[in-house]
């Protein structure tokens, strides 16, 4: 998951692992500094959570 506040994942994940922080000279300013986090041990039903997630294709 990519977001500003990985601590907000705590209710949904048993463990959150920070993988990286976005940085690119070609990215738009609002996309720089976002945390890329891995959620391990999902505590909620993914089908109930999916409407809250945004997908970009």
pLDDT at site 8 = 84
pLDDT at site 57 = 41
Between 19 and 54, residue with greater pLDDT: 19
What six digits make up the tokens of 48? 């109930």
CA distances from 26 to 1, 30, 36, 45 (A): 21, 12, 18, 36
pLDDT digits (tens, 9 = 90+) for 23-49: 888 878 877 888 888 989 988 887 777
Q: CB-based contacts of 51: which residues, under 8 Å, 6+ apart?
A: none
Please identify which residue in the block is written with the tokens 């720089």: 32
What six digits make up the tokens of 55? 């997908």
Which residue, among 12, 21, 20, has the nearest Cα to 39 in the 3D structure? 12
pLDDT at site 52 = 65
């Amino acid at each position: 998951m990519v977001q500003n506040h990985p601590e907000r994942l705590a209710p949904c994940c048993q463990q959150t692992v920070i993988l990286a922080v976005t940085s690119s000279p070609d990215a738009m300013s609002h996309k720089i500094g976002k945390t890329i986090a891995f959620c391990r041990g999902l505590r909620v039903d993914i089908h109930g959570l999916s409407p809250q997630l945004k997908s970009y294709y």
